[in-house]
Amino acid sequence: MVKDNEKFKMVTSSPLIVAVAISRKNQIVINYSKLNKHPINIKTILKHELCHLLLHHYIKVNLPKWLDEGVAQWISGGWGEIIMDRKKIVLNKTIQKGDYIALNNLTKKFPKREKYLLLAYEESKSIVEYIGREFNKDGILNILKYLKEGDDVNTAIIKSLSISFKELEKRWLNQFKKEHIWLNFLGNHLYEILFFF
C-alpha cells in the first residue's frame, strides 16, 4: 500500500498526477498549479477523488487498484487525477497487439512509467465500463457489496456476475478487440469508403 507521504510526493512531482485521495486522513490533495496549465474540470477531479474516499471508507480490504480507479472514472465521467493527452492513449493499439497489462498485475498498485501508468488507467476504465454495459450498474454495485463483506475479487465477481475473474477479463478483451477492429477498419479505409459512395 502506498504511504500518505508517497501519495503527496506523486501529486507534486509527477507530470501526470493532478490530485490524490488520502483515505486514512479523508483528504484530497490537488496540485492547483497543474490545473492552470491543463484544462481539467475541477468538478470531475473532486467527484473522482471523493469516489476514492467513499470506496476506501466502505471497503477496508480487498479493493483492487484497477477496480478502485475504474469505478472512480466511471462515476466521475473522467480521468480525475491524471492529465490525459489524447495522443498518448494507448489501449486500442496495445490490446490489438496482445500486449496489455493483465488485471492481476494491477491489483495492488499501478506502474510508475508513464506509458504503462496511462495504460493501467485506460484498462481500469474500460473493464468497469464493460461490466456496466454487459451486467448493468448492479453488476458493479454487487461486486463492491461483496468486497465490502470481505470477499476477494474473484469470489465477488463470481457471486455478482456468475463468471470468474479470468473469464471476465477474457470476455472484456474479446469484446474490446471486436469493437475496435471495425473502428480501425473504418479509420484506415475512410477515404476509399467515401470515394465509393
**pLDDT one-digit tens code per residue, 115-139:** 888 889 889 999 999 999 999 999 9
Average pLDDT over the chain reads 81
Task: Determine the number of helices (DSSP H) and then strands (DSSP E) in the chain.
Answer: 9, 2
Q: Output the pLDDT for position 63.
A: 96
Q: Output the pLDDT for position 146.
A: 98
Q: Output the pLDDT for position 95.
A: 67
Q: Output the pLDDT for position 17.
A: 80
Q: Are 59 and 146 in contact (CB under 8 A)?
A: no
Distance CA 43, CA 118 (A): 21
